[in-house]
Amino acid sequence: MLSGYTSVIAAFLFLLRAVCGFFTMLFLLRLLLQWRRISFIHPLGGFVLKLTNWAVLPLRRVIPSVGGIDWASLLVAFLLQFAFFSVALSLPIMGTPFAPLTLNGITEGGWAFLLFVISLMGLIQQILYLLILLLILQAVLSWVNPYSPFAPVLRQLTAPLLAPIQRILPPISGIDLSPLVVILLLQALLMLM
């Protein structure tokens, strides 16, 4: 019975992580699109707007975009990670609750700070995953369909990451290895986290 209960919790956490991760990436993609000043008229921009307007537009009344950064989207992305980790850390796992860390000398304020830090690290991980995904999509599209309507958008989104590497490592026989180098560096950052 205990293993069945644990399986249900694991499945619930998997689904919750997938949903929170998907929407976190959408809000982060909205932030990137606005930061890089990419038109939302594009199909990708329209998709992102339709799925994120419900949370961003009400927050924009209170939190404006400053310095080209969509702070409302960033806040919602962080809150999604915070909500996920709040639920994940409070559910019993393997028959014992994970939350009794509070009984081992961590005060409520310390628990809130720990949850804040874990959520912030989760947000940074999601940013790194999104960048890796964008780089992989750009690399695949450059080989399969370089004239796709998504290719210019992906190039604009990944240009700040690739430009420093491209200055050091120019294309070899027409093949640009900079996406591979950046993906490896981002993977190394993920491993450090």
DSSP SS3 for 53: helix
Tell me what percent of the residues of the chain surpass a pLDDT of 70.
Answer: 90
What is the pLDDT confidence band of residue 101, given thresholds at 50, 70 and 90?
Answer: very low
pLDDT for 51 equals 97
120-175 per-position pLDDT tens digit? 999 999 999 999 999 999 999 988 998 998 999 999 999 999 999 999 998 888 88
What is the pLDDT confidence band of residue 92, given thresholds at 50, 70 and 90?
Answer: low
What does each C-alpha distance from 114 to 8, 98, 102, 105 come to in angstroms? 26, 13, 11, 13
pLDDT for 191 equals 94
What is the pLDDT confidence band of residue 95, given thresholds at 50, 70 and 90?
Answer: very low
pLDDT for 110 equals 77
What is the pLDDT confidence band of residue 103, given thresholds at 50, 70 and 90?
Answer: very low
**pTM of the entire predicted model:** 0.88
What is the pLDDT confidence band of residue 106, given thresholds at 50, 70 and 90?
Answer: low
Q: Which long-range contacts (CB under 8 A, 24 or more apart) does 151-154 make?
A: 153/33, 153/38, 153/42, 153/44, 153/45
Q: 157 with 133: CB under 8 angstroms?
A: no
- At 145, which amino acid appears? N
Angle (CA) 124-129-135 rounded to 5° is 130
Alpha helix (H) ranges present in 69-150? 71-90, 108-144
Q: Name the phi and psi angles at 173, rounded to 5.
A: 55, 40
- At 29, which amino acid appears? L
Tell me what percent of the residues of the chain surpass a pLDDT of 90.
Answer: 68
What is the pLDDT confidence band of residue 105, given thresholds at 50, 70 and 90?
Answer: low
- At 77, which amino acid appears? A
Q: Residue 128's CB: how many other CB atoms inside 10 A? A: 16
- At 3, which amino acid appears? S
1-26 per-position pLDDT tens digit? 457 777 888 889 999 999 999 999 99
